Amino acid sequence: MKKKLFHFIDTTDSTNNFLKKLAEDKLLSNNNLPEFYTVYTAEQTHGRGQGTNTWESSHGANILASIYFTPPLPPVSQFIFNQYFSLAIRKLLLRYLPKVQIKWPNDIYVGSDKIGGILIEHFLEGDCISRTIAGIGINVNQVQFSSSIPNPISLKMITEKNYDTKSLLEKFIDILKQDYHLLNIQNHLILKNEYLNALYQYQEKHLYLINGIETMKIITGIDLYGRLLLMDEKGNISSFGLKEVKFL
């Protein structure tokens, strides 16, 4: 990876926040950040997940990074980027693990345990996505987690090996570059099919919490807007957003 695209800061509140501020400063000076510009850190004091969720990580043990993009996508196709980004994480981890899945909408799972998460922020101008900041957290060498975290796992916990987090991050960026062409409209169906094949609990019958009620449903797919498609026992299919359904 070219040094100019790789910025390390030992401690920050959030790599997404840091990169967002940096991008805004560059825009004000008419000096845009290059594609794939990456900020990574040894420690986040206020690491963020989806919504109000936080991300825990021991100092220097894991991958904590954010990457800058200007994706060739209209706002209506934002979830295409999520598919591309999460599949790239999966491709990286499959080099070291036999099975990795994507839990809708933003978690990376090994079996029933969470090894990583993403936080993607799109910035819109008119009918275009002007820029995207995609954050990644992957548990690499950490083996002890807070008891408040329900199901964490790390590469080291699975393989009993230590890893160089910078080297892993460089490999991840290489994958992102190699697969960037998949964001072109003619490749969207390829992305969708790969995403569904990697989706946690896809086409399996499981309990979900919907409107406070536990109900048995089957994941049948993802709609254009990234909403989860669930089929009930009568064959009726409904779409659900992030705050409308909970995995049990």
Per CATH, the architecture of 3-197 is what?
Answer: 2-Layer Sandwich (3.30)
Asked if 120 and 134 count as a contact pair (C-beta separation under 8 A), the reply is: yes
What does the pLDDT read at residue 247? 96
SS3 content of the chain, % helix, strand, coil (to 5): 30, 35, 35
**Domain spanning 205-247: which CATH class is it, in words?**
mainly beta
Q: What stretch(es) of the chain map to CATH 3.30.930.10?
A: 3-197
pLDDT digits (tens, 9 = 90+) for 95-119: 999 999 999 999 999 999 999 999 9
- The CA distance from 169 to 172, in Å, is 5
Asked if 9 and 60 count as a contact pair (C-beta separation under 8 A), the reply is: no
pLDDT range class, residue 52, cuts 50, 70, 90: very low
What does the pLDDT read at residue 1? 43
Q: Quickly tell me which residue has 């850190």 as its tokens.
A: 41
pLDDT digits (tens, 9 = 90+) for 228-242: 999 999 999 999 998
- What is Dmax (Cα atoms) for the chain? 58
pLDDT range class, residue 131, cuts 50, 70, 90: very high
Task: Average the pLDDT over 124-151 and give the result.
Answer: 91
CA distance readout (Å), 232 to 115, 122, 125, 195, 203: 29, 33, 39, 22, 12
Higher-confidence residue of 140 and 224: namely 140
What does the pLDDT read at residue 51? 47
Q: What stretch(es) of the chain map to CATH 2.30.30?
A: 205-247
HSE on the CB side for 169, CA within 13 Å?
Answer: 30
What does the pLDDT read at residue 54? 56
